[in-house]
């Protein structure tokens, strides 16, 4: 991380406290309605420099053209950041909510905030950053920053009513699209200014321009298009218009500069108890012990697992990457109590577990859900169930599929269709019916809390982990994936991603080294399923006749020239300490890139 020489705010993994929490006295700020300045009720002033066609009320101009939901989401993603010495405001700018986990929320802004802090720290010993959204004010703590990249982070606890912006992994910058730059003044009032996105050709630069004119207080705020899509972070106003960092580059710098929210440390005086939120414990030792007790006499191979080395049996070894590891909350506990009874019941009745077998040896296990498709009830799951572990574009033929139904009965499953490129498969069961199968065509709203749901094949346990969609750098070949903070295990592969009303948002995959759970959204899934309606089933066409050797049925917007790879870690036995080191090394090896689209052409950066 690059910082001003000798001025790093990060010490020994903790964040500097910009003010003593015990001595904090909340300063309430109000904006004068008659003068072009902001009044601090303890006597200090700071000028509000207005330039361009600004709208101080969100129902004016461009803002009124947005849907109520889009306008609300945009408004809830931007805050005011004020550097104060407790008596007067020394610097103001805006910030963007980008991450939220448990009690902690992270905002990104320009490095001007960090520069101002360093300059003022020489003259003031009680600096603080006030984070304001409308009438809500909390004290923030300046985190990592990079002056060269013009990015800084502010972390807060217990901050209500904010929505994180959504970084889509497929990023588009159409020329001359209408845009709106958003910020908040020191009173918390929303400021918007409109314009157009300037033309772009070639690779995505570090800084782009739009014709809207922003004020100083909007520096660090977000830029959106007319559909509410996040485009980047506003930096400053110049003769060319508003300079902004496109989200492609912002995502890169964010990934390089900022630590995981799990590693953020707050002063003890303001620290709150951490919420489990369905997080996965380091190990479920009982799972590993049960496996050893039940299958420890040379029978683990029937589950597709290796036998543990005899030299490690007394070392408390664990079986990494197994299919029996639970996640989140077991049905009836935790997050399930927050769902309406009808929603929980419907989820329970639509989630199945599947396992494929090569002879008597289990090949793979995962989750599936009952969906309404093409006039019948079908199981949607991941093609990992039948994919060859070593060949991305091949399946293992003649696998036997067993389905554990919601009533705990086992049924024979038949592979109907699959698409290895997007890792989707449809499996049928004779006489299968559901009272209310999931409907993929239901839309869902970004930024809503989500549930990743799964069922374990061996035990039948139904589980759910809560989380939010978040921004990350792409770690998979598939560029249509989103990521959530829902923490799952391999048992959750192929399971649905739902909102708290039970509406289908996508299908989950697994990547323990990506820092989140990847998912394919409902709209992409619909496009993948569409050709199946006119394509012969696997049974009718035969494996050779069904397999696609060319990418002749990729969905619109997919410019792939080879099959996507879907990495699933293989099971192995390990000592706990060795596993932790292994996971850290594997995380560092994962390729990371962002794909954007410029003038219809995909560009990887």
Question: Domain-by-domain residue ranges, the chain?
Answer: 10-268, 327-539+554-571
Q: Which residue has the higher pLDDT, 226 or 299?
A: 226
- Given a contact cutoff of 8 angstroms between Cβ atoms, the answer to whether 220 and 109 are in contact is yes
Return the CATH number of 10-268, one of 2.40.10.120, 2.60.40.10, 2.40.30.10, 1.10.3720.10. 2.40.10.120
Is a pLDDT exceeding 50 seen at residue 68? Answer: yes
Which helix or strand (DSSP H or E) is residue 37 part of?
strand 37-40
CATH number of 327-539+554-571: 2.40.10.120
Position 67 scores a pLDDT of 74
The rounded distance, in Å, linking the Cα atoms of 382 and 391 is 16
Q: What is the mean pLDDT of the chain?
A: 77
DSSP-assigned letter for residue 395? B
- 315-367 per-position pLDDT tens digit: 677 888 899 999 999 999 999 999 999 999 999 999 999 999 999 999 999 99
Once rounded to an integer, what is the mean pLDDT over residues 511-523? Answer: 85
- Given a contact cutoff of 8 angstroms between Cβ atoms, the answer to whether 596 and 171 are in contact is yes
Tokens of 264: 């953020």
Is a pLDDT exceeding 50 seen at residue 70? Answer: yes
Is a pLDDT exceeding 50 seen at residue 34? Answer: no
Is a pLDDT exceeding 90 seen at residue 163? Answer: no
Q: Which residue has the higher pLDDT, 486 or 34?
A: 486
- Given a contact cutoff of 8 angstroms between Cβ atoms, the answer to whether 519 and 497 are in contact is yes
Position 264 scores a pLDDT of 57
Tokens of 334: 């935790």
Q: Which long-range contacts (CB under 8 A, 24 or more apart) does 296-305 make?
A: 301/361, 302/360, 302/361, 302/362, 303/362, 303/458, 304/361, 304/362, 304/363, 304/364, 304/571, 305/571
* pTM (two decimals): 0.58
Q: How confident is the model at residue 302 (pLDDT cuts 50, 70, 90)?
A: confident
Is a pLDDT exceeding 50 seen at residue 71? Answer: yes
Q: How confident is the model at residue 298 (pLDDT cuts 50, 70, 90)?
A: low
Is a pLDDT exceeding 50 seen at residue 227? Answer: yes
Position 565 scores a pLDDT of 79
Position 100 scores a pLDDT of 78
Q: What are phi and psi of 601, to 5 degrees?
A: -105, 125
Position 443 scores a pLDDT of 64
Question: Which range (27-31, 187-191, 321-325, 356-360) has the least confidence?
Answer: 27-31
Q: Matching CATH topology for 10-268 and 327-539+554-571?
A: yes
- Identify the three-state secondary structure at position 245: strand
Once rounded to an integer, what is the mean pLDDT over residues 397-409? Answer: 95
Q: How confident is the model at residue 46 (pLDDT cuts 50, 70, 90)?
A: very low
Once rounded to an integer, what is the mean pLDDT over residues 243-262? Answer: 73
Q: How confident is the model at residue 254 (pLDDT cuts 50, 70, 90)?
A: confident
- 115-158 per-position pLDDT tens digit: 999 999 888 888 899 999 988 889 998 888 888 888 999 999 87
Percent of the chain with pLDDT strictly greater than 90? 33
Position 294 scores a pLDDT of 62
Position 540 scores a pLDDT of 83
Instruction: Tell me the range of 229-233, 249-253, 558-562 where mean pLDDT is highest.
Output: 229-233
Q: Which residue has the higher pLDDT, 427 or 16?
A: 427
Radius of gyration of the chain (CA): 26
Is a pLDDT exceeding 70 seen at residue 23? Answer: no
CA distances from 47 to 185, 393, 534, 543 (A): 10, 62, 65, 71
The rounded distance, in Å, linking the Cα atoms of 28 and 137 is 8
Once rounded to an integer, what is the mean pLDDT over residues 11-36? Answer: 31
Q: Which residue has the higher pLDDT, 25 or 260?
A: 260
Position 102 scores a pLDDT of 66
Position 125 scores a pLDDT of 80
Is a pLDDT exceeding 80 seen at residue 228? Answer: yes
Position 500 scores a pLDDT of 93
Position 43 scores a pLDDT of 30
Once rounded to an integer, what is the mean pLDDT over residues 269-280? Answer: 38
Once rounded to an integer, what is the mean pLDDT over residues 85-97? Answer: 91
Task: Name the residue among 13, 56, 463 with its Cα closest to residue 263.
Answer: 13
Task: Name the residue among 532, 566, 555 with its Cα closest to residue 417.
Answer: 532
Q: Which residues contact 215 (CB under 8 A, 6 or more apart)?
A: 48, 49, 50, 51, 52, 54, 183, 191, 193, 237
- 409-447 per-position pLDDT tens digit: 999 999 999 999 999 999 999 988 888 999 887 666 665
């Amino acid at each position: 991380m690059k910082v001003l020489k000798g001025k790093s705010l990060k010490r020994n993994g903790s964040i500097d406290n910009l003010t003593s929490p015990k001595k904090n006295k909340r300063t309430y700020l109000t904006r004068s309605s008659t003068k072009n300045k902001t009044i601090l009720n303890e006597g200090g002033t700071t000028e509000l420099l207005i330039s361009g066609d600004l709208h101080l009320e969100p129902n004016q101009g461009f803002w009124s053209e947005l849907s109520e939901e889009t306008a609300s989401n945009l408004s809830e993603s931007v805050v005011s950041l004020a550097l104060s010495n407790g008596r007067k405001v020394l610097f103001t700018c805006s910030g963007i909510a980008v991450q939220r986990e448990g009690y902690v929320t992270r905002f990104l802004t320009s490095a001007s905030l960090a520069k101002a802090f360093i300059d003022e720290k020489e003259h003031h010993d009680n600096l603080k950053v006030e984070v304001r959204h409308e009438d809500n004010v909390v004290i923030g703590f300046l985190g990592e920053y990079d002056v060269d990249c013009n990015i800084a982070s502010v972390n807060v606890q217990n901050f209500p009513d904010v929505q994180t912006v959504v970084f889509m992994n497929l990023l588009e910058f159409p020329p001359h699209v209408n845009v709106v730059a958003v910020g908040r003044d020191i009173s918390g009032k929303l400021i918007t200014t409109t314009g157009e996105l300037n033309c772009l050709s070639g690779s995505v630069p570090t800084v782009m321009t739009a014709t809207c004119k922003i004020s100083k207080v909007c520096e660090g705020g977000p830029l959106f298009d007319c559909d509410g899509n996040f485009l980047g972070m506003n930096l400053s106003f110049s003769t060319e218009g508003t300079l902004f960092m496109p989200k492609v580059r912002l995502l890169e710098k964010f990934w390089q500069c900022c630590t995981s929210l799990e590693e953020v440390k707050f002063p003890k005086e303001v620290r709150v108890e951490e919420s489990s939120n369905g997080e996965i414990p380091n190990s479920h030792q009982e799972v590993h012990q049960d496996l050893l007790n039940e299958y420890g006499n040379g029978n683990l191979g029937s589950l597709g697992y290796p036998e543990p080395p005899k030299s490690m049996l007394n070392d408390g070894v664990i079986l990494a990457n197994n299919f029996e590891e639970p996640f989140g909350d077991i049905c009836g506990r935790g997050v399930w109590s927050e769902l309406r009874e009808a929603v929980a019941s419907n989820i329970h009745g639509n989630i199945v577990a599947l396992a494929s077998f090569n002879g008597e040896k289990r090949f793979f296990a995962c989750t599936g859900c009952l969906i309404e498709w093409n006039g019948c009830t079908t199981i949607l799951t991941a093609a990992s169930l039948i994919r060859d572990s070593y060949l991305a574009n091949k399946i293992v033929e003649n696998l036997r599929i067993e389905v554990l139904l919601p009533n705990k009965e086992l049924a024979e499953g038949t592979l109907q269709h699959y698409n290895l490129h997007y890792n989707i498969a449809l499996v049928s069961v004779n006489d299968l019916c559901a009272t209310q199968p999931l409907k993929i065509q239901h839309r869902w709203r970004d930024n809503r809390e989500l549930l990743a749901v799964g069922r374990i094949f061996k035990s039948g346990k139904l589980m759910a982990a809560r989380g939010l969609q978040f921004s990350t750098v792409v770690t998979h070949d598939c560029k249509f994936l989103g990521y959530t903070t829902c923490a799952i295990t391999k048992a959750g592969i192929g399971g649905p991603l739902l909102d708290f009303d039970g509406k289908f948002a996508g299908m989950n995959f697994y990547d323990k080294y990506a820092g989140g759970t990847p998912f394919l959204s409902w709209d992409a899934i619909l496009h993948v399923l569409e050709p199946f309606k006119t394509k012969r089933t696997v049974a009718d066409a035969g494996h050779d006749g069904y397999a696609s050797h060319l990418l002749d049925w990729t969905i619109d917007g997919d410019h792939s020239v080879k099959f996507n790879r879907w990495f699933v870690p293989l099971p192995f036995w390990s000592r706990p300490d060795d596993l932790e080191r292994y996971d850290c090394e594997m995380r560092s090896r994962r390729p990371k890139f962002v794909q954007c689209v410029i003038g219809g052409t995909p560009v990887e950066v």
